[in-house]
Amino acid sequence: MIRLLATVLTGFALGSAAGVLLLTASWRAALRTLLELLMAAGLVRLAAAQSWTDLAAAAAIVVIRNLLSTALLSPPPRPPGWSAAPRRSE
Amino acid sequence: MTEELLRRVSAVMVAAIESTGALVISVGAIWAAIRFVVDGLRHRDPTVFVPIRLSLGRFLTLGLEFQLAADILRTAAAPTFSQIGQLAAIATIRTALNYFLRREVAQEQRQQQGDRDQRRSAQAP
């Protein structure tokens, strides 16, 4: 039952991420959506973990998600000479 | 007899608490998945996803609390070292994730608050 729920959540994750990518054309948003929802599926699957392989798979999802989220949370690199302050016209 | 009864009661409670945790996480994930698509359709702007992500983070944190409680209860009936080892690994994963999720939720809340304050000061005469 729990494995079925985890599979359903994985389906929702893929569908939702595809929808976000199509609707916003933002790969960052789509990837974050996918990672968050896949992690939710991984957590549910952890409840039915029977073996060390299941545990390792869940741990891998969590680590990958945290690493990628940290990378995606930081703002994109700005080109050299870019300034946030508006230029004053003289 | 008492030990057997305690094991059975413990097993039922563990199953109930763990299922509650799984249910909370599932409800949160499905709600968030639907909201991502609906709000994406309405606004076509990734910035509207921040409150959805915050809510999902809260659902996951709450679900993890239930699952951690089940892990603690499960240690009451873990007869082999392998089972204890697996429990320790699961509890470590969940605790670490809970910590990172709380930090991210706090960070996104601060970012949202900062954006709101910036907009307010830009609008002020």
Give residue-wise pLDDT tens across range A19-39: 999 988 888 888 888 988 988
Instruction: Decide: A16 and A33 in contact? Cβ < 8 Å.
Output: yes
- Nearest residue on chain A to B24, alpha-carbon basis: A44
> How many Å apart are CA B90 and CA B18, to the nearest integer?
12
Given a cut of 70, whether residue A76 has pLDDT beyond it is no
What is the SS3 assignment for B125? Answer: coil
> How many Å apart are CA B51 and CA B57, to the nearest integer?
10
Model-level pTM greater than 0.80?
no
- Comparing CB atoms, the residue among A5, A12, A55 nearest residue B33 is A12
Which residue is listed with tokens 């000479």? A81
> How many Å apart are CA B33 and CA B54, to the nearest integer?
13
To the nearest whole Å, the CA of B11 is away from the closest chain A CA by 14
Given a cut of 50, whether residue A72 has pLDDT beyond it is yes
pLDDT for the residue numbered A90: 41
Instruction: Decide: A68 and A30 in contact? Cβ < 8 Å.
Output: no
Instruction: Decide: A14 and B29 in contact? Cβ < 8 Å.
Output: no
- Comparing CB atoms, the residue among B41, B64, B104 nearest residue A43 is B64
Chain segment A29-70, per-residue pLDDT in tens:
888 889 889 889 888 887 776 677 877 877 787 788 778 777
- Percent helix, strand and coil across chain B, each to the nearest 5: 95, 0, 5
pLDDT for the residue numbered B33: 93
